[in-house]
Amino acid sequence: MATLTELLDDLVADVDGVILFSPSGSYYERFEDADEDPVVVAPENAVEAETFVELPLEFENVRDRIRFGIEGAMEHDLFEEGDVVACAVSVFGGDTDSVVRVRVSESMRSGIYDLFANSRADPNVIRDVFEVAIELGKKGQKGKPVGALFVVGDAGKVMNKSRPLSYNPFEKSHVHVGDPIVNVMLKEFSRLDGAFVVSDSGKIVSAYRYLEPSAEGVDIPKGLGARHMAGGAITRDTNATAIVLSESDGLVRAFKGGKLILEIDPEDY
């Protein structure tokens, strides 16, 4: 009969690498004599790991945290499809208490890592705006499909490359995305034309903005309209991130550096 240790050893047998999620210094030191350096995924490289992937958001859902870390490692060419990775993570808080065995697949390249990593805007702000778009995509406006465009970060340049379509309800306010009341306001205003402009720190700078960057050279998938073209173009000309909810197909897309980096069905999120 196999011992408990032998059964648990199967979790780490023949793995191609190890990912440590926010390890303590003492836990990381236990890997000093390992054949290969583990990959550390954490908000900052506090253990001075040689192989490090930044975790800009501390995902509460452990599955999401692992998927994000693996996607980040793939973006850094640390793992590829078919690799088997042992992920050491804390589920209940405190020290590392769980090991999850994961087989890497290309389907894990969702674009979420690129959306949050290396962005000018605070990652928490991008997450708050993204979640507003996701909820709008699920519920619509009074049960009807709605489209919306949110431009996050580099607000000064975005304002210079746009013009008002109507009175700006946020002109003299100091409200920030993430506040439940403010999120209700965003959903209500989304039924009107124009883009929302959000600062790096989450302040809502404007609504009803008509974006005027040149669309020349912007390559977006066929079938996407002016809202997506404007979102792609403004991120090419500024350091902003654009999050677009399509009224026609209900998908949420994100643009960065003039390129489509993410496409998600709100019902699957």
pLDDT above 90 covers what percent of the chain?
54
| pTM strictly above 0.85 | no
Q: Give the mean model confidence (pLDDT) for residues 16-38.
A: 90
| Cα Rg, the chain, nearest whole Å | 21
Cα 249–Cα 124–Cα 23 angle in degrees, nearest 5: 120
State the pLDDT at residue 2: 64
Q: What is the predicted pLDDT for the residue at 143?
A: 63
Confidence of residue 232 (pLDDT cuts 50, 70, 90): very high
Mean pLDDT of all residues in 106-130: 89
As a dihedral over the C-alpha atoms of residue 222, residue 226, residue 232, residue 235, rounded to 10 degrees, the angle is 180
Closest CA to 213 of 194, 230, 199, 191: 230
Work out the average pLDDT over 236-248: 93
Statement: residue 25 has pLDDT above 80: yes
CB-based burial label for 106 (10 Å; 0-12, 13-18, 19+): exposed
Cα 237 to Cα 224: distance, rounded to the nearest angstrom = 20
**Coil, strand or helix: which one is 102?**
strand
- The tens digit of pLDDT for each residue in 179-221 reads 888 888 888 887 778 999 999 999 999 999 999 888 777 778 8
Tell me: the pLDDT tens digits for 167-190? 888 888 889 998 888 888 888 887
**What mean pLDDT is predicted for residues 149-164?**
95
Token pair belonging to 89: 């993570």
- The answer to whether 190 and 141 are in contact (CB under 8 A) is yes
For the CA atoms of 138, 264, 62, 131, the dihedral, rounded to the nearest 10 degrees, stands at -50
Domain boundaries, the chain: 4-109, 118-268
Amino acid letter, 130: F
Tokens found for residue 265: 């069905």
d(CA 192, CA 146): 9
The pLDDT of residue 24 is above 60: yes
Q: Which CATH number fits domain 4-109: 3.10.20.30, 3.30.300.30, 3.40.640.10, 3.40.1380.20?
A: 3.40.1380.20
User: What digits encode the pLDDT tens for the residues 81-95?
Assistant: 999 999 999 998 878
Question: What are the pLDDT digits (tens) for 244-267?
Answer: 999 888 899 999 999 999 998 888
Residue 6 to residue 9: CA distance in whole angstroms: 5
Domain 118-268 of CATH type 3.30.1360.30: no
The reported pLDDT for the residue numbered 142 is 61
Return the pLDDT at 76.
93
Task: Please give the sequence-ordered ranges of beta strands (E in DSSP) within 69-226, or none if there are none.
Answer: 84-89, 98-103, 148-152, 162-164, 195-198, 204-211
The mean pLDDT of the chain is: 89
Instruction: Give the closest residue to 176 by CA, choosing from 143, 148, 202, 146.
Output: 202
> Is residue 20 scored above 70 in pLDDT?
yes
